[in-house]
Each structure stands twice: as structure tokens, then as C-alpha cells.
Amino acid sequence: MISAGDFRNGVTIEYDNNVYQIIEFQHVKPGKGAAFVRTKLKNIKSGGVVEKTFRPTEKCPTAHIDRADMQYLYSDGDLFHFMDVNTYDQVALSADQIGDSLKFVKENEMVKICSHKGEVFSVEPPLFVELEITETEPGFKGDTATGATKPAVVETGATVYVPLFVDRGDRIKIDTRTGEYLSRA
């Protein structure tokens, strides 16, 4: 149990039969009346953000989030298969549970499976990946002064905007949180 007076950013709590992560909190002491804590909470399963106020003495149970390193094996139809490299246990997750978190992940790469009380709610890809460009239009000489970009398809099928000097066959480094090109590998 954690009291509202001890809230910090990043803490996960159980509230109204949901699991929330605290994004923002502010202790407010008005001139008249009792103090309170104003928070912004993100539902970790649905992704929705709500604003709630708590009395500083209110208590909420803390939610324990399990993050397990697993290897992405393959997908067949709507199921994505993962394996724990220590125990060799395999888990199959549906496309609804995955979302678009695997658009930059190749087979046999390591990901983090996030779960609460055994229920998987998200997959976290590695922060940075190196992928090969399979399709892009050639850049023209003299077009580089503006810092322009062009779309490029990487080997996982995702589209990334890259500088004009990047060509087919180049390996690039991508930030998976934003989907942005970082550099050539």
C-alpha cells in the first residue's frame, strides 16, 4: 500500500479495478480547506489517461509489473510466438495484445513481455534496432541542402523516413519508441 502523499512519477497502483501508472502528480495546499494530491494516471492496459484527485492520507495498493526477457520466434496468422530463453517455455500472444510494438522487431530478437498477475498487457521492443532498407527511391545530387527526407521500407515491412543519401541495402539504426531514423549502422 502506498499513500497519496508518497506518490512519485512512474509508480504503478491499482485503483478502481485497473492498473495505472502515475505520469504527473502535484501536492496542492489551498488557502482554505484540506490539502490534496492532483494526479494524471495512465491505464497501462488500455493506454488511456485520466485525472484524479486524492486526499494525502488515501492509500492504494501498489501494482507489481513483471517484465520478462523473451525471444520473439515467429508469427503465424494472428498469433505471435515468444520463448523464455532460460526455461524454453513458449507463449503465444494475439495481435490485439501485441499492437504495433513488433513493427521494428525481426525474428529471434529479444523483447520484454510486461504482465500483471499473469495477464500480458504489452510487449516492449528493444530501444534501438539495426535494420536493412529493402525499398527506397534514389536520392538526387544537390537535394541534400534542405535536410529533406524520403520514405524507406525496412526488412520488417515498416516505413521509416530517412535522409536522401540513404540507399537500398544500407543498414540503419532506428529508435523504436518514435520510429525515427538515427544513423547509418
Percent of the chain with pLDDT over 90: 19
Please give the pLDDT value at position 70. Answer: 92
Regions of the chain with pLDDT less than 70:
139-146
Listed by start position, the domains of the chain span: 2-60, 66-124, 128-184
CATH T-level fold of 2-60: SH3 type barrels. (2.30.30)
User: Taken in order 15, 21, 27, 32, is the CA torsion positive or negative?
Assistant: negative
Q: Which CATH class is domain 128-184?
A: mainly beta
Domains 66-124 and 128-184 share a fold: yes
Question: What pTM was computed for the model?
Answer: 0.70
Please give the pLDDT value at position 153. Answer: 92
Please give the pLDDT value at position 72. Answer: 92
DSSP letters, 58-106, are -EEPBPPPEEEEEEEEEEETTEEEEE-TTT--EEEEEHHHHTTTTTT--
**CATH number corresponding to 66-124:** 2.40.50.140
Total number of residues shown for the chain: 185
Please give the pLDDT value at position 53. Answer: 92
Question: Dihedrals φ, ψ of 4, to 5°?
Answer: -65, -25
